[in-house]
Structure 1
Amino acid sequence: MMKLTRSSFYYKPRGKDPEQMKAEADVRDKIEAICLEFPRYGYRRVTHQLKHEGCQINHKKVLRLMRESDLLCRVKRKWVKTTDSRHRFPRYPNLIKGMTISHLNQVWLSDITYIRIKTGFVYLAAILDAYSRRVIGYAVSTGLDTELTLKALRMAIAERQPGSGVIHHSDQGVQYASVEYVEELTGHGFEISMARTGNPYENAMMESFFKTLKYEEVYLCDYETFDDVIARLPYFLEGVYNQKRLHSALGYRSPNDFEELLLIQEGNGLPRQALLTLSVQS
């Protein structure tokens, strides 16, 4: 006969209460909003800011939530490691620092962010062409794993059909450093580039893109379920961001319009500066 204590015999595991899940998601949402507005705040300053906003919370919980959400990379100290970067896989040097990007499929930028739903979060992996700022691959999942980033990469490859030599730039997260992801890259002839750990400025264009996504779509739509995200997000990425949103760096053209102008450039032999002049004047 098994010898169990009375408490062990009657123990029933308890799942998270939906109200508790919603309350924690509310706090996580507030933390991200603070980190977007004050990107150099560490968890102690974030804790004080939350208290100023009327949220009574322990700094240890703030630290845990920021670590789980990969927000610690935004603090003032430059070399803070995030949880996802603590892995055994090889790291790669930053190949694009100081580089002049002059054509499509020269550099692809990759990163992951999370999107708030009513009872938690889902994750978005996205890939941008660094020259046109166009979203060329993306995937959404409830899991933060390599399969998420692989889906985005495979979508981008199918969309672009690039030749060898494209530089794939990301952070050092385990999703990008894993054997499966690296093999997918090398199998298609990519060169691998990674930002230094805890340094979001080395992937600043992706940071800017995610900020745009949050302020112009996510915070306005109030997603409640994973299905809401799946139904709405592709329209914003493809129908709004790629098709309509203007970028000053592209001569106040959308990414799609800019790439169409590149076709004109190739046909007429125009340099990029002439292309940008044309796009501003037309």
Structure 2
Amino acid sequence: MTSHGMVPVLKSAKRYSSYKGEIGGAPANLVNRDFHATAPNRLWGTDITEFSIPAGKVYLSPVIDCHDGMPVAWTIGTSPNAALANGMLRDACATPRPGETPIIHSDRGCHYRWPEWIRICTEHGLTRSMSAKGCSPDNAAAEGFFGRLKQEFFHKRSFRGVTIDEFTAMLDEYMVWYRDKRIKTEYGMSIMDKRIQLGLVV
């Protein structure tokens, strides 16, 4: 882009990173950039993203089902801590049907290497998978979701005068809309409506 005199319309701020160095051994990258899943609850992706508004910073931690891009569960908070990630994981683990044990793929952030995260994964039969260090394409399912979310909900909007609580409510409302109402072109209906049509949701 530089050599052709091109500049992005939106300048990105310094990206939030949860990497805090190597904390014990990391699981293998079982996904190897293949984020296709033939059915729900076979492959999940997760990450944490930061929103900086005049009132402060807000963090979103979702689990995305790689089958259809559904946000299975999410938490929103003002600190990217273990409680944010673990709470989201516990909520997500309540959704699979008996016998469904997803692979859960993440980056190498510290949240995904702490004992409680590992315990929840083990308790629910989830298989952990991790990206290589500092390699965004290795976690493309979550990164792609964040890109769409920020383009539709966040960029080119002013949140001046919006409180943290108000922003949190707006973000949660968007997430519900994305799951239940946003039309997915491939289906001609929302992700939730498609799952209902297939009998995957009662």
TM-score bracket relative to the smaller structure: 0.7 to 0.9
CA distance in 2: counterparts of 1:199 and 1:261, whole angstroms:
37
Q: 1:14-93, aligned counterparts within 5 Å? A: 33-35=10-12, 66=14, 69-70=16-17, 84-93=19-28
CA distance in 1: counterparts of 2:163 and 2:171, whole angstroms:
12
Structure (1 or 2) with the greater strand fraction: 2
Do the aligned partners of residues 260 and 180 (structure 1) sit closer, same or farther apart at CA in structure 2, a change above 3 Å counting?
A: same
2:181 to 244, 248, 256: 244
CA distance in 1: counterparts of 2:35 and 2:49, whole angstroms:
25
Determine if contact 1:164/1:188 at 8 Å carries over to the other structure: no
Shift of 1:87: 3.1
**1:186 has 2:163 as partner:** no
Deviations 1:120-176 (A, max 9, x none): 311110111110211111111111111110111111122335635310111110011
SS of match in other structure, 1:102:
coil
Aligned to 2:41: 105
Shift of 1:89: 2.8
Aligned to 1:234: 172
Q: 1:1-282, aligned counterparts within 5 Å? A: 33-35=10-12, 66=14, 69-70=16-17, 84-97=19-32, 98=34, 100-160=36-96, 163=99, 165-219=101-155, 220=157, 222=159, 224-238=162-176, 240-248=177-185, 250-263=186-199
Q: Given the two structures, how large is their TM-score scaled by the length of structure 1?
A: 0.61
SS of match in other structure, 2:64:
strand
Determine if contact 2:35/2:43 at 8 Å carries over to the other structure: no
Unaligned runs of 5+ in 1: 1-30, 36-64, 71-82, 265-282
Structure (1 or 2) with the greater helix fraction: 1
Q: How many percent identity over aligned positions?
A: 28
Do the aligned partners of residues 206 and 86 (structure 1) sit closer, same or farther apart at CA in structure 2, a change above 3 Å counting?
A: same
Aligned length: 190
Determine if contact 1:101/1:131 at 8 Å carries over to the other structure: yes
Do the aligned partners of residues 242 and 221 (structure 1) sit closer, same or farther apart at CA in structure 2, a change above 3 Å counting?
A: farther
| Equivalent residue letter for 1:34 | K
Do the aligned partners of residues 263 and 114 (structure 1) sit closer, same or farther apart at CA in structure 2, a change above 3 Å counting?
A: same
Shift of 1:229: 2.3
CA distance in 1: counterparts of 2:30 and 2:98, whole angstroms:
18
Do the aligned partners of residues 161 and 118 (structure 1) sit closer, same or farther apart at CA in structure 2, a change above 3 Å counting?
A: farther
Which one has more relative contact order, counting CA pairs under 8 Å at least 6 apart? 2
Determine if contact 2:29/2:129 at 8 Å carries over to the other structure: yes
Q: Given the two structures, how large is their TM-score scaled by the length of structure 2?
A: 0.83
Deviations 1:233-281 (A, max 9, x none): 221111x211222334x434321122123228xxxxxxxxxxxxxxxxx
Determine if contact 1:110/1:125 at 8 Å carries over to the other structure: yes
Deviations 1:94-145 (A, max 9, x none): 1122465100100111110011221331111011111021111111111111
Shift of 1:189: 0.6
| Equivalent residue letter for 1:179 | P
**What is the alpha-carbon root mean square deviation over aligned residues?**
2.4
Aligned to 1:46: none
CA distance in 1: counterparts of 2:20 and 2:199, whole angstroms:
39
| Equivalent residue letter for 1:101 | A
CA distance in 1: counterparts of 2:180 and 2:149, whole angstroms:
14
Unaligned runs of 5+ in 2: 1-7
Q: Which moved more, 1:106-115 or 1:251-260?
A: 251-260
CA distance in 1: counterparts of 2:111 and 2:90, whole angstroms:
14
